[in-house]
Amino acid sequence: MPALLLLLVGVASLLVGWWLRRRSGLPVGNITYADTDVPAQPLISNRYGLVGKPDYIVMHRGVPIPVEVKPNRMADAPYESDRLQLAAYCLLIEETNAKTPPFGILRYHSRTHRIDYTPRLRAQLLQMVDEMRSYLDADDVARSHNNPARCAACGFRHSCEQSLAI
């Protein structure tokens, strides 16, 4: 009887673990990198001058897959900035590993989005990086949004002439 009870508890634990893993949105595989509890080493690309730390890297069928978790996002579709952030992680993995991720995972509050890492997305990322670099030497850069809450959270709001924050 105790052996049967232990078996049932073991099976129940496995099922709960499986259910929690599916609910998390993480692909099946071993987590080989995590920047959630203890800060991890950043991924660095000297070629592109990029540095970043995805929340997780999961080894899925022998390929590293970046996972970015945005627990407070309630959107039905991925934000463009989140897509590009995930693409940057794919590029960093491509530069620091022998294998290129075919996709990355964005986990929002109650939705998981698989973002395919295509040549088009990669080119879009590199174009955005070039555009951002062109602003580094500019005397003045126009605000890129019309969101007062975003301005209110900005560290430059007190010196910005275009701030929407009151």
- The strand ranges marked E within the chain are 30-34, 43-45, 50-52, 56-60, 63-70, 103-108, 112-116
Domain membership of residue 71 (yes or no) is: yes
Domain membership of residue 149 (yes or no) is: no
Domain membership of residue 130 (yes or no) is: yes
Contact 115, 80 (CB under 8 A): no
Q: What is the pLDDT of residue 130?
A: 93
Domain membership of residue 11 (yes or no) is: no
Domain membership of residue 50 (yes or no) is: yes
pLDDT digits 0-9 by tens, 22-71: 555 667 677 777 787 788 899 999 999 999 999 999 998 899 999 999 98
Confidence class of residue 145 from pLDDT cuts 50, 70 and 90? confident
pLDDT digits 0-9 by tens, 72-125: 998 889 999 999 999 999 999 999 887 899 999 999 988 899 999 999 999 999
Domain membership of residue 9 (yes or no) is: no
Instruction: Supply the CATH number for residue 56's domain.
Output: 3.90.320.10
Cβ atoms within 10 Å of 151's Cβ, excluding its own: 18
Domain membership of residue 46 (yes or no) is: yes
- Token pair recorded at residue 75: 């959107």
Domain count, the chain: 1
Domain membership of residue 146 (yes or no) is: no
Tell me how far apart the alpha carbons of residues 152 and 124 are, in angstroms, rounded to a whole number: 29
Domain span at residue 102 reads: 29-138
